[in-house]
A and B are shown apart, each in its own frame.
Chain A
């Protein structure tokens, strides 16, 4: 959020006041260790997020998490603490940001505030892995076929398309060490999205965004064909539809420039 996902952070900060939502950053948060921690040390993979859990308890508010990995590890730490102590460590709820912002009340507010309907924008929702799986940790019910991104896109009057790869893996944990494996996984996602008739992805995880966005040029070269599939954060599309003036600025930070597509659809 402070680095490669600066565009995600800016769009979250941009749209929340439009939904009469006030978000406060969890003070003094630290990194949960992500896949590196649970791969190398079981203990570390619980103790790092447990620290954030402690901070959240002090803050006394619901925890809304924009990063799928952070969400997953926080929930894992919560479950572990429940197992150890027999009681819940937090009397508030841990949300993943997409779930939080697609609660019926927010969708109703949003519907009233759509000033620029995203008509004609054909998109596939891509949820990735860790916001959904494993359900024993995430407490999700529709983990194989989540629907809230599609619900959101419908409210924004875009055209969400059905496809079978919405929770397939982009290989985030291997990005650094085995980009070749990531390329295979991501190319599969491009091809399946195109087969579904999509012209863009909508994501809720900055690792998914990074993998789909940053490797598009490289994969195009390998494949010998030009892929053009912009990768939007769902919050960016909310901002676009509500007419947030910074939207173009957020979008200018993507490597695959979404502006030509939006211009073509008359949305920018």
Chain B
């Protein structure tokens, strides 16, 4: 049997207290029932289970968490938060850790996911309030092909794009410019995104 090597941890409280200050989420309420991990549909792709994320947050293991895969493959389905008997917003912790990872310029385990989110927001900002699905898909495809050229993926995407186009489900032009374009710019500026 493969017994994992246990390393002693030096617990620190700064992470839990910062989390509580900025989001009012109290990870110390966790009694490790693991209901969050039992209901999570994405555990198959995670390096830490949701209950382990909460435990490590309580123990102040910032680096381990910011570099984890789990925070990025979490699909934000909020099943964990919904079922937590102690009212811990586990999905909220995942979001906070993602934002913190970018702020602290930590090594992001899933750069594609972070980039897709960033492109999505930039697309809204650039178009002045509404999303251009076409521009977003194109930009992301180029990014992906640059990282790892994959002819099959390119063809599959082209095929899907064509199928959607034929069914008039792709709008080629820009989204309409809204009157609140200026407001959108200031919202983005205030958020520093």
Contacts and interface: CB of A to CB of B under 8 A. Distances in A.
**Is A bound to B?**
yes
Interface of A: 2-7, 28-31, 33-45, 47-48, 51, 129-130, 133-135, 143-144, 168-169, 171-174, 176-178, 181, 184-185, 188, 214, 218, 252-255
Contacts of B116: 36, 176-177
Nearest to B180: A28
A2 B160 CA distance: 18
Contacts of B136: 176
A36 B81 contact: no
A26 B81 CA distance: 31
Contacts, number: 161
A48 B188 CA distance: 9
B31 interface: no
B171 interface: yes
B187 A214 contact: no
Contacts of B175: 2
29 contacts: A3-B134, A6-B168, A6-B169, A29-B178, A33-B121, A36-B118, A39-B98, A40-B99, A40-B117, A42-B99, A43-B191, A44-B188, A48-B187, A51-B180, A129-B76, A129-B78, A130-B78, A134-B81, A143-B82, A168-B77, A169-B41, A169-B42, A169-B75, A171-B41, A171-B42, A178-B110, A181-B73, A185-B75, A218-B156
Interface string B43-59: 01100000000000000
Contacts of B193: 40-41, 44
Contacts of B167: 252-255
A178 B73 contact: yes
In terms of DSSP, what is the predominant structure of the interface of chain B?
helix
B81 to A, nearest CB: 5
B115 interface: yes
Interface centre among A3, A39, A254 (most CB of B within 10 A): A39
Interface of B: 22-23, 41-42, 44-45, 73, 75-79, 81-82, 89, 91, 95-96, 98-99, 102, 110, 112-121, 124, 129-131, 133-134, 136-137, 140, 156, 160, 163-164, 167-171, 175-176, 178-180, 183-184, 187-188, 190-193
